[in-house]
Chains A and B, each alone.
Chain A
Amino acid sequence: MKLTDTINAYLDGRLTADEVRALEAELLSSSEARARYWEIAGTHASLERHFHENSGSELSDTLVFPALDRQKKSALWTFAPMAAAAAIVLGFFAFFKPAPPAPNLVQSGGFIARWDDDWRFLQASELKLAAGESRELVFVNGVRVALEGPIDGNLVAPDLMTLATGRIGVHVPPGAEGFTVDTPAGQVVDFGTRFGIDVAGNKLRAEVFEGRIDVNVAGENYRMEGQASLEVVDQQSSGIAAGSNAQAYPMPTAEFRTTGFGQFNSPGYLVKHHPTQPDQWAGDYSRATAAIDGVQPRTGAGMLQFLSTTQEAGSHEKIGSQVWRVVDLEEIRAELGRRAERVRLTAWCNRVEGTADSDTKFMFELAGQAGSQQEFRWSPDVVLRSQTDLLTDADPTTWEKVTVELQIPSSLRFLVVMASAQENVSNQLPAEGQEFDGHFVDDIELEFSAGLRASQK
């Protein structure tokens, strides 16, 4: 067999022990054989990665998670007490301490999930919370479950839990559809949405706030879309009612990160005035540029270069060259499914080596201005702000990172993001009309978040 075929056969698991020994001898004696091995293994690894990521979301659960088929799911509640009795011997306080897998439910391995802000490898476990306690479970496929005690249930798989008692709020993002909650009164299957469930004994109340869920009660399927609610008592339901109340359920944390907020990949000068509308970079004399003066964009094709402290070249009265971009927080609310409570800006700064007179300082600000509840209007009156600055080194090959955070009040509609270079060393006008020797910012991104919220019931 040719070496390529032998390596392929090994990676397909179809070599005999003798053939593996022969391959070992060849790999030990020849660096070319080893190079060939990695070449072929690289193709296998690429195929593994591509098809697994292709099979679901980028954070695919099929890689590390045991998959459950729907038939097993539908029979779950019947098995659950038996499985719990056989497998769960843990005390109340041992949250998610691995228990032996329940027969017929989890075949092998475990799965990664975040509990109490720690990512952990979990296996099927009992799930209990006392009254007054609340916790959040986050799976790598993005499913977030807010749990509010008293809770009595079982975590079975990344897409399956049982709930005998308790109130939960669930967010299932696109790509992770199929998250299922099995209760004594019925089975709730998500199709990409936000919903809440309240279970107590033989009573089940399910409410969908966005998207669609199916509730299966005694063999009858109730499809709930948009905003709707359903009550089940003793496996009987009077039907789906319009409307739902998200406030009555705990709400999981939510995060949204911008992509390409401040990439500056299209060359050109920025609009020279205060921004008049959201989603537009504008400000003092500055431009998006490709690599220049020995400075390469940190990522992508471009970066922002600060040129002057006013909107036209030539002036040297002020000491800061500022650019702004406005964010409509209503758009962020749509992404998060709720109001953003916190925002964190990250950005990267760089400059040319310059001389002893070269300025070194950058400044960033997240702010709210007065007024502007419906449409954005620039106002000089800042009602809240969070600011930070950074002194850059003289090495144009390295980028320095800066972060700044702001707690967002519920009354704020528009967030104003500011980036600037500061004349902290010399406020002199160079002959070319450019006040900064070569000062750049790249990869400005925002991360919005909202914390775990208790029900308002």
Chain B
Amino acid sequence: MADPQSPESLKHVSQVQGLFVKHSSQIRGFLISLLPGSVEVDDLLQETFLTITAKAENFELGTNFTAWAMTIARFKVKEHFRKSQKSELLLGDEVMETLLEDAPEVLADDTQILALKKCLKNLSPSVQKMLTQRYEDDMKPEKIAADVGWGANSVYVALSRARSTLRECIIKQTKGALASTSLS
């Protein structure tokens, strides 16, 4: 085994940490999809970062970092749900374990982001603005409602519809991308 204090090992760890930083938004998106609205998302992200640092030597540069990092993040979520007392507004540990068994290897990968960018252009400017307020500015739907002069429920419905439209469009786009790849 390589000396963990050797310049090569230290550089490797630093490179792996750099990959974590680069992909942190993707890993955080995964955590948010399981713990929506929870302040513990950043704690779990931090714990994932620390575990990735400790296990960096197991990761081979050039292989799939996000898949490896998501595996660690999944483990951290499981651990967290087993050990901590959760809000009753979050899913319980039994269902979380079952959900994680069915979790895709990677969520929100580059192909999906590319498709999402194209699909967003099909939405009306007002819905695009609402999504920006919700996801970029982290505004609660109630605040968005006050801003656009709608009822909160209407904003929920609009966001929900926008996500359904985007989901269908992303599926169509990514299937199209796969088809054109296989033809070339």
Which A residues contact B (CB, under 8 angstroms)?
Answer: 4-5, 8-17, 20, 23-24, 27-28, 31, 34-35, 37-55, 58-60, 63-64, 108-110, 112, 114, 117-119, 121, 140, 348, 401
Are A119 and B91 closer than 8 Å at their CB atoms?
Answer: no
Can you sample 30 A-B contacts with CB below 8 Å? A8-B159, A11-B33, A11-B36, A13-B89, A20-B90, A20-B91, A23-B91, A41-B34, A42-B112, A42-B167, A43-B167, A44-B29, A45-B26, A46-B108, A46-B166, A47-B166, A48-B108, A49-B28, A51-B132, A52-B28, A52-B135, A55-B136, A58-B22, A63-B24, A109-B42, A112-B49, A118-B13, A121-B46, A121-B49, A121-B50
Contact with A along B96-140 (1 / 0, CB 8 A): 001100111001100011001100100000000001101110000
Closest chain B residue, CB of each to CB of A112: B21
Q: In the complex where A46-B112, A49-B26 touch, is A108 in contact with B163 (Cβ < 8 A)? A: no
Distance A12 CA – B145 CA, assembled complex (angstroms): 14
How many A-B contacts at CB < 8 Å in the complex?
163
Tell me how far the C-beta of B108 lies from the nearest C-beta in chain A, rounded to whole angstroms.
4
A114: B residues at CB distance < 8 A: 14, 17
Give the residues from 53 to 86 in chain B that come closer than 8 angstroms, CB to CB, to chain A.
Answer: 53, 62
CB-nearest residue of chain B to A119: B17
CB of B166 within 8 A of CB of A43, answer yes
B51 part of interface (Cβ distance < 8 Å)? no
Which residues of A sit under 8 angstroms from B156, Cβ to Cβ? 9, 12, 14
Q: Which residues of A contact B102 (CB under 8 A)?
A: 31, 34-35, 38
Q: Mark B15-38, 1 if CB is under 8 A from A, else 0.
A: 001101110111011101110110
Q: Beyond A43-B170, A51-B136, A55-B136: 9 further Cβ-contacts under 8 Å?
A: A40-B167, A41-B34, A41-B107, A44-B163, A46-B107, A48-B108, A53-B25, A64-B42, A108-B42
Known contacts A27-B91, A27-B98: A13-B108 contact under CB 8 Å: no
Say yes or no: A45 contacts B30, CB within 8 Å. Answer: yes
Give the contacting residue for B89; candidates A17, A38, A46; CB below 8 A: A17
Complex Cα–Cα for A255 and B132 (A): 33
On chain A, the residues within 8 Å of B166 by CB distance are 43, 46-47
Q: A46-B116, A49-B26 are in contact. Are A8 and B32 (CB under 8 A)?
A: no
B92, CB-defined interface residue at 8 Å: yes
- The chain B residue sitting closest to A67, CB to CB, is B138
A331 to B95, CA, bound (A): 56
A58-B113 Cα distance, complex, nearest whole Å: 13
CB <8 Å contact, A45 and B136: no
Bound-complex Cα distance A55 to B164 (A): 23
Report whether A140 and B32 are in contact in the complex, using a CB–CB cutoff of 8 Å.
no
Residues of B within 8 A of A24 (CB): 91-92, 94-95
- Which residues of the partner chain B approach A48 to less than 8 Å between Cβ atoms? 25, 28-29, 32, 108, 135
Taken together as a complex, chains A and B put the C-alpha atoms of A31 and B103 apart, in Å, by 11
Going nearest first, the 3 A-B pairs with the smallest beta carbon separation are A45-B29, A13-B37, A41-B33
List B contacts of A31 (CB < 8 A). 102
- B39 in contact with A108 (CB, 8 Å): yes
Q: Which residues of B contact A51 (CB under 8 A)?
A: 131-132, 135-136
Nearest-CB residue, chain B, relative to A140: B21
